[in-house]
A and B are shown apart, each in its own frame.
Chain A
Amino acid sequence: MNAKALVSFQPQVDRGTLVLGGEPHVVHCHYYNHFLQTSIEDAEGIYPVEEVLVWTAQEIAHSLFKSLFKDTGVTDYRERKAIVEAVYTQCGYGKINLADLSAEGGEVRTPYEHYAYTYAATFPPRPKGKRGVAYFSQGYLAGALEAIYDLPLGSVGSQQVACLTQGDSEVVWHFYRLANPLPLKPSIGEGAFQTGSLVQFPATRIPYAQIRDAVLSLPFIPDSETGLIEGFGVVLTFTPGNYYALISERHMQRMIQALGKEIEPLVLDMLIESGHVCAFNTLGGIMQSAEWDAVVRPYIDTPEDWLHGIMAALPAIGWGIVSCTNQPSSAEWSVCLTNWYESTALSALSPAQRHLDHSPFARGLFAGVMALIYKARIYERRLTFDGHLYRELFGEGRIYQATFTESRLRGDPKDSLLVTPSRT
């Protein structure tokens, strides 16, 4: 069996998704990953954040690999482990070897894990005694272990016992069987997905479909030594979109549960900020990449074409299909989001199970893109994506703000977003 050959994303162009093991995956960069995780981790004194960051990953990985093993008909434990190892690397999470795991658990160690590696390369060691940053992998591997050995969801416990961020040379996790299972739920998979098509906006030469297909064909190849994916000046992962949506939703719920409704604006603000971080780094990186210069730039005539170009790329990184509802300008950008991954994930929950009534990440993201175009003027100068520029765009007073004029999570048939200059 060639495990690598069994691992490939299935692009669903009518949904703007990349599916593997029944799970839509989205491309994000380590800036966004760290920002969102750190925002949640800040609440560690308020509620046990592992129950959100680790358990959610465990649920998703369990469903993903159960589905993948079923689809491929693989029943041999060693072959299943090889598939998990291949998926782990293919998604840019790093390199792992599961040889020492059994149905009773065991230990996994690696010097290369996305969160730990990118954090350790940037910051000094965290305080000793503070847990490591590889929450996602911890849960992901616990869920994978359950799937490998056909164990029930929630039957494996886990712990991260070493981390590069603490000065250790490796990330180490322990896995063990639990007498009392964790209260976990199977993943929502493709959720309440929508279908649609990429609409070519008439007032631009930007060839939407051509750009989407070009991005889909980009070889995001993990480094052979580290298993990490470098691209567009950042470190990328293919992560189940449900993970981001659910940890955001669950964090909000836990915070309100602990502190009351008055905490909501603060949590919302952090989730919006995560969109700024993503626009600035991932999308900004794309817009200044050699690939952009080759594929998009020849068709750019106006600053607005930068907006069209980046919208065309989004379905290829699994975020859904985005279309303009009128010609954008520096004063207004109105978009319709079809199958936006966060909305699709959360729409699969009953209204009683969710609190978010829109995707705050999308609000920050699209406002951030507008800031890059019209404030930073990316169309006429090469930007340096540093803290100075970030503070200029998103520090004192945000340049743009976005609001959902329609939201599937409020019962509307579609998501519509309007970006306008902030009134500060």
Chain B
Amino acid sequence: MSTWRSWIRTLLSPIKSKETTQTESSKSSIDTEKPTAPPTSSEELDPSKLYPILPLKEWIIRNISPYAWDRTVIRSLPELSRMGIATTMVLAPKPDTELPLPVLQVLLSSLESMYGVKPDLREILRKTVTV
């Protein structure tokens, strides 16, 4: 059964990228244990400021897949709803859609729980935001 094992592992395993921090580098996962979070550069962002969400969506689509974004959003919806964020803002963000940092962190947390991927948010936002 070696052939089929390798496909889904490569498809859903942590993505290697200079913008990515792999929290469990030896593992591949669609649903991993939550690791003890190391400090990430997203924690250096200002929690009181608003940040564009589209760059994160584009990063996920480009580096993982379109459905990874869909899955991330679905996983995050209950928490976002508790935070009072309108579903439409996350479902179809526009270039000028900006949301508080905790919202982006919820999305990142979902992404990490599914794919073991923790992209460097600061790096992703670098081109569009002055940090």
Interface residues of A (CB under 8 A from B): 29-31, 34, 38-39, 42-43, 45-46, 118, 121-127, 130, 230, 233-235, 259-260, 262-263, 265-266, 269-270, 273, 281, 385-388, 390-391, 394-396, 398
A31-B7, A395-B65 known; A270 vs B71 contact (CB < 8 Å): yes
In the complex, the answer to whether B91 meets A265 with C-beta atoms within 8 Å is yes
> What residues of chain A lie closer than 8 Å to B88, measured between beta carbons?
262
Is B13 on the interface with A (CB-CB < 8 A)?
yes
Q: What is the bound-complex CA distance between A46 and B70, given in angstroms?
A: 14
> What residues of chain A lie closer than 8 Å to B11, measured between beta carbons?
386-387, 390-391
In the complex, the answer to whether A395 meets B74 with C-beta atoms within 8 Å is no
> How big is chain B's contact interface, by range?
35 or more
Near A by CB (< 8 A), chain B positions 1-38 give 1, 3-13, 24, 27-34
A-B contact pairs, 17 of them (CB 8 A): A31-B8, A39-B71, A39-B74, A42-B75, A45-B77, A45-B78, A46-B78, A122-B8, A127-B34, A234-B4, A235-B4, A262-B88, A263-B87, A270-B74, A386-B10, A386-B11, A387-B13
B85 vs chain A, min Cβ distance (A): 12
> What residues of chain A lie closer than 8 Å to B1, measured between beta carbons?
121, 230, 235
B52 vs chain A, min Cβ distance (A): 19
In the complex, the answer to whether B91 meets A122 with C-beta atoms within 8 Å is no
Near A by CB (< 8 A), chain B positions 54-102 give 61-62, 65-67, 70-71, 73-75, 77-79, 87-88, 91
Closest A residue, CB atoms, query B74: A42
> What residues of chain B lie closer than 8 Å to A130, measured between beta carbons?
31
Q: A30-B4, A266-B91 are in contact. List 6 more A-B contacts (CB 8 A).
A: A124-B27, A127-B33, A235-B4, A263-B91, A270-B74, A396-B62
In the complex, the answer to whether A122 meets B9 with C-beta atoms within 8 Å is yes
In the complex, the answer to whether A269 meets B66 with C-beta atoms within 8 Å is yes
In the complex, the answer to whether A46 meets B77 with C-beta atoms within 8 Å is yes
Q: What is the bound-complex CA distance between A29 and B4, given in angstroms?
A: 10
> What residues of chain B lie closer than 8 Å to A34, measured between beta carbons?
8, 30
- Contact among A31, A39, A127, A388 with B4 in the assembled complex (CB-CB below 8 Å): A31
Closest A residue, CB atoms, query B65: A395
A42-B71, A266-B91, A269-B70 known; A387 vs B4 contact (CB < 8 Å): no
- Contact among A46, A273, A281 with B74 in the assembled complex (CB-CB below 8 Å): A46
A130-B31, A259-B77 known; A281 vs B7 contact (CB < 8 Å): yes
> What residues of chain A lie closer than 8 Å to B71, measured between beta carbons?
38-39, 42, 270
Q: What is the bound-complex CA distance between A385 and B6, given in angstroms?
A: 9
A45-B78, A124-B27, A259-B77 known; A270 vs B8 contact (CB < 8 Å): no
B4 vs chain A, min Cβ distance (A): 5
A42 vs chain B, min Cβ distance (A): 5
> What residues of chain B lie closer than 8 Å to A45, measured between beta carbons?
75, 77-79
Q: What is the bound-complex CA distance between A39 and B114, given in angstroms?
A: 11
In the complex, the answer to whether A124 meets B29 with C-beta atoms within 8 Å is yes
Q: What is the bound-complex CA distance between A127 and B9, given in angstroms?
A: 18
> What residues of chain A lie closer than 8 Å to B67, measured between beta carbons?
39, 269-270, 273
Q: What is the bound-complex CA distance between A101 and B38, given in angstroms?
A: 48
In the complex, the answer to whether A127 meets B5 with C-beta atoms within 8 Å is no
A46-B74, A259-B87, A391-B65 known; A385 vs B31 contact (CB < 8 Å): no
A83 vs chain B, min Cβ distance (A): 28
* Most A C-beta atoms less than 10 A away, residue of B3, B27, B62: B3
In the complex, the answer to whether A266 meets B7 with C-beta atoms within 8 Å is no
In the complex, the answer to whether B6 meets A386 with C-beta atoms within 8 Å is yes
In the complex, the answer to whether B33 meets A387 with C-beta atoms within 8 Å is no
In the complex, the answer to whether B70 meets A385 with C-beta atoms within 8 Å is no
In the complex, the answer to whether B91 meets A262 with C-beta atoms within 8 Å is yes
Q: What is the bound-complex CA distance between A259 and B71, given in angstroms?
A: 15
> What residues of chain B lie closer than 8 Å to A233, measured between beta carbons?
3-4
A38-B30, A396-B61 known; A122 vs B70 contact (CB < 8 Å): no
Q: What is the bound-complex CA distance between A263 and B91, given in angstroms?
A: 8
Q: What is the bound-complex CA distance between A30 and B7, given in angstroms?
A: 11
Q: What is the bound-complex CA distance between A121 and B27, given in angstroms?
A: 13
- Contact among A31, A126, A394 with B65 in the assembled complex (CB-CB below 8 Å): A394
Closest B residue, CB atoms, query A31: B8
Closest B residue, CB atoms, query A235: B4
Q: What is the bound-complex CA distance between A234 and B3, given in angstroms?
A: 7
